[in-house]
Amino acid sequence: MRAVLIVKDEAGQRAELTEIPDDDIGEGDVTIAVDYSAVNFKDGLGVTGVVPVVDRFPIVGGIDLAGTVVDAPAGSGLAPGDAVAVNGWGLAVNHNGGFATRARVPAEWITKIPKQFTTWQAMAIGTAGYTAGLSVVALQRHGLSPDAGPVVVTGAAGGVGSVAIALLAALGYEVHASTGRTGEADYLQALGATEIIARTELASPSQQALASERWAGGVDTVGSHTLVNVLSQIRYGGVVANCGLAQGLDLHGSVAPFILRSVTLAGIDSVNAPATKRDEAWDLLSEYLDERLLEGMTTTVPLDQAAAVAQQVLAGAVRGRTVVDVNR
C-alpha cells in the first residue's frame, strides 16, 4: 500500500512516499480502509525531527485518520462499514499513522464519527479541531459564560485557532484573535472574531506580572511569552486553556495571576484523552461547528504533498486546516 514513511539515518530525519507491505500497517484488532488524514503541527515536528516526537523508525506519518471499518472483533461495538476516526494516541509516534491507505489500530482508540460528518469533514476537524473542542469544553467546565467578557485565541489563523474561533463565536462569545498574519483579518472575522491583535503585542518577554484586566478567558496554542502575557491580562476568576507550544515549551512568568486574580490555567491533552472527554468535544463540534465555515478553512491535498505541507504548518505558513486524500 502507498504510505508516507518517516525514516531516520545518518542523513537525518525525513519523510518518503513509498509502498509498504499490507502486513506492516500496524498492530491492533481493527482494520480501517483510510479515506483521509490531516496535517497538524505535530506532523511537522515528526517529519522534520525538530522536536523528537517520533519514538520508532521507520514509521508511517500522520497523527489523524478517518475511514471505514474493514474488520473488527465481536464485542468491540464496531462493524464493517462504520465511519470512524482516530486522533492522536500513538499514531505516527510509536504506531503507524494515517498517511497510508490502510491502518490497523486497537479498538479503544477509535471514535465513531458523528452521523452528520463525512470522513472528509472528520479530518477537516482532525486533531486540531478536536483539540479546539476540548479547549472550549474546558472553558465551559470552569463556568466561563459569554457574558463574562471577551475571550482571546492565540495562533488564531492556524487549525486549532480557526476552529476555536468558530466554536466560541457560535456559542455567543466575543472573540479576539491574536495572529502573526494580520493580513488574514478578513478570514478571522468571517470565522467570528471581532478584534484582531498582532502577534507582536503578546510575543515579547513580559515586563509586568500583572497587566490591565482585558479578557475573561482564552485558548492558547502558542505557549512561552505569549501565554505569560495572556495570563497577566486575564480578568479575576478567568481561565485559559493551553494546548500548544508554537512559540516554545518555556513559561517564564509569575504566579501573580493565579494567587492575586484567581486565574486558572487548564492544560489540554488531545493525545491520550479518554473516550468520555473525546465524545464531549465531538458532541460540541457536531452541535456548534458551522460546516460551511469548516469547508472554507480547509484545503485538500494528495498524499504526495503531505510531508511538504507538514513543514509549512510547522513554519506557520498554512491557514486553517489541510486534509490529505490518501487515495490520490
pLDDT score of 207: 81
pLDDT score of 99: 97
C-alpha grid cell for residue 186?
Answer: 478578513
Domain boundaries, the chain: 2-113+297-325, 126-267
pLDDT score of 22: 83
What top-level class would CATH report for the domain 2-113+297-325?
A: alpha beta
C-alpha grid cell for residue 265?
Answer: 490555567
Give the integer Cα–Cα distance in Å for 316 and 289: 23
pLDDT in tens, 106-158: 999 999 999 999 999 999 999 999 999 999 999 999 999 999 999 999 999 99
Reduced to 3 states, what is the DSSP secondary structure of residue 110?
coil
Task: Render 29-45 in DSSP notation, one character per residue.
Answer: SEEEEEEEEEE-HHHHH
pLDDT score of 182: 81
* Residues in Cβ contact with 113 at an 8 Å cutoff, skipping those fewer than 6 apart: 66, 83, 84, 85, 119, 122
pLDDT score of 23: 81
pLDDT score of 12: 87
Helix H or strand E encompassing 8: strand 2-9
Give the integer Cα–Cα distance in Å for 136 and 282: 11
Whether the predicted model's global pTM rises above the 0.85 cut: yes
* Residues in Cβ contact with 76 at an 8 Å cutoff, skipping those fewer than 6 apart: 29, 30, 107
| Each residue's pLDDT expressed in tens, for the chain with a length of 328 residues | 999 999 999 888 999 999 999 888 889 999 999 999 999 999 999 999 988 999 999 999 999 999 999 999 999 999 999 999 999 999 999 999 999 999 999 999 999 999 999 999 999 999 999 999 999 999 999 999 999 999 999 999 999 999 999 999 999 999 999 999 888 999 999 999 999 999 999 999 988 899 999 999 999 999 999 999 999 999 999 999 999 999 999 999 999 999 999 999 999 999 999 999 999 999 999 999 999 999 999 999 999 999 999 999 988 889 999 999 999 9
Give the integer Cα–Cα distance in Å for 48 and 55: 14
| CATH no., domain 126-267 | 3.40.50.720
